[in-house]
Amino acid sequence: MLYNYLALIIFIVMALFIPYSLLLTSVLMRKKLPENAVKNAPYESAEDTIGSSLIVQIEYLPIFAMFLPFEIISVVVLLWASVARYVSYYSGLEMMGLMVVAMVFGLISYKFISDSDV
């Protein structure tokens, strides 16, 4: 029992030590260059930004609204498929029903979002 905790503690220590040691090594080995306003400009183009960079394009929002519920239910069904034969004979029908509900929900949300003037 103690061996399991010891292995976990060693794993946590190594998981923290390796990335931080690599970061520290890179900080110590790199050249210290003077700051350059042109290099620090957005996209290193030395051009001033026109407009706001915070505008989010929503053209893919309907596709995302249709994809997300279907994706979540698909993962649940794949996980359920590994234990379905141990649970119930009709569990496959239940999961197919869940997939149908996910598709209907996705299509309804797609319809609402694509019809709205956002």
Cβ atoms of residues 61 and 68 within 8 Å: no
Q: What is the pLDDT of residue 2?
A: 78
Cβ atoms of residues 71 and 82 within 8 Å: no
Give the mean pLDDT of 91-108: 78
Q: What is the pLDDT of residue 51?
A: 66
Q: What is the pLDDT of residue 106?
A: 73
Q: What is the pLDDT of residue 95?
A: 76
pTM of the model: 0.38
Domain boundaries along the sequence of the chain: 2-115
Contacts (Cβ under 8 Å, ≥6 apart) of 89: none
Give the C-alpha separation, 93 to 73, whole Å.
14
pLDDT digits (tens, 9 = 90+) for 30-87: 888 777 776 666 665 556 666 665 566 666 777 777 777 778 877 887 787 777 777 7
